[in-house]
Amino acid sequence: MALDNSVTLVGNLVHDPEVSFIDSGKARVSMSIAVNREVNGEKYTSYFDCTVWGKLAENAGTSLKKGDRVVVFGSLKQQTYETKDGSKRSQVEVVASDIAPSLLWATAVVTKSGKE
């Protein structure tokens, strides 16, 4: 049985997307999203690290900025690593497959960038 780990987040960008390119020339964007919610009158903010690849990364890097409200579609990826002192750590990130502006409190102009 195949398991689906898709996730949809709606939140605000914590910082401008950080664009870089790997050795093959493929674009990569790192960004963090703050998701605010209210449960029983208590307000909570959760932060999610997201990675975006390819043409989507290029478009995100030129279109988005800190504070923008976005909808991110993607999947969860867990990475395990070892710190300098030998401790083992684990981190879960969202690997985005699509990103859209949230139109709840804003408007957007969509411009086609061409096919990948």
Q: Is pLDDT at 110 greater than 90 in this prediction? A: no
Instruction: State the Cα–Cα distance between residues 116 and 93, nearest whole angstrom.
Output: 24
pLDDT at 115: 62
Residue type, 88: K
Which of 102, 89, 4, 17 is CA-nearest to residue 51? 17
Q: What's the CATH code, domain 6-101?
A: 2.40.50.140
Q: Indicate the average pLDDT of the chain.
A: 92
Residue type, 66: K
Q: Is pLDDT at 114 greater than 80 in this prediction? A: no
Instruction: State the Cα–Cα distance between residues 94 and 7, nearest whole angstrom.
Output: 8
